[in-house]
Amino acid sequence: MEQRRLGESGIVVSSICMGTMTFGLQTDETESCRIMDRALDAGVDFFDAAEIYPVPPSAKLAGITEEIVGRWLKRRPRESVILATKIAGPAHGWFNPPARAPKAAIDRVHLRKALEGSLRRLQTDYLDLYQVHWPDHGMRAEDTLETLDEFVREGKVRALGISNETAYGLMKSLWAADVAGFRRFDTIQNNFSLNNRRFEDELAQVCRREKVSCLPYSPIGGGVLSGKYNDGARPAGARFTDYFDKAGPRQRAMVERFVNDRSLESTRRFMEIAENAGLHPVTLAVAWSKQHDFVGSTIIGATTAEQLEPSLAAAGVVLEPAVLEAIDAVSRDIRYPMG
* pLDDT tens digit sequence for 17-64: 999 999 999 999 999 999 999 999 999 999 999 999 998 777 788 899
Q: Is residue 330 part of a domain?
A: no
Q: What is the CATH number of the domain that holds 123?
A: 3.20.20.100
Q: CB-based contacts of 60: which residues, under 8 Å, 6+ apart?
A: none
Positions marked active-site = 53
Number of domains in the chain: 1
What percent of the chain is modeled with pLDDT above 70?
91
The pLDDT confidence band at residue 96, using thresholds 50, 70 and 90, is very low
Report CA torsion sign: 243, 247, 248, 250: negative
* pLDDT tens digit sequence for 125-170: 999 999 999 999 889 999 999 999 999 999 999 999 999 999 999 9
Q: Is residue 264 part of a domain?
A: no
Q: Is residue 118 part of a domain?
A: yes
For residue 66, give its domain range.
Answer: 3-222+290-304
| For residue 104, pLDDT beyond 70 | no
Spatial separation of the C-alpha atoms in residues 107 and 109, rounded to whole Å? 6
Q: Is residue 74 part of a domain?
A: yes
Q: Is residue 229 part of a domain?
A: no
Q: Is residue 149 part of a domain?
A: yes
Q: In terms of Cα–Cα distance, which of 92, 285, 272, 136 is closest to 196?
A: 285
Spatial separation of the C-alpha atoms in residues 242 and 235, rounded to whole Å? 9
* pLDDT tens digit sequence for 175-189: 999 999 999 999 999
Decide if 5 contacts 210 (C-beta within 8 A): no
Q: Is residue 272 part of a domain?
A: no
Q: Is residue 70 part of a domain?
A: yes
Specify the DSSP class assigned to residue 162.
E
Tell me the average pLDDT across 98-120: 79
- Parallel, antiparallel or unpaired: strands 46-48 and 213-214: unpaired
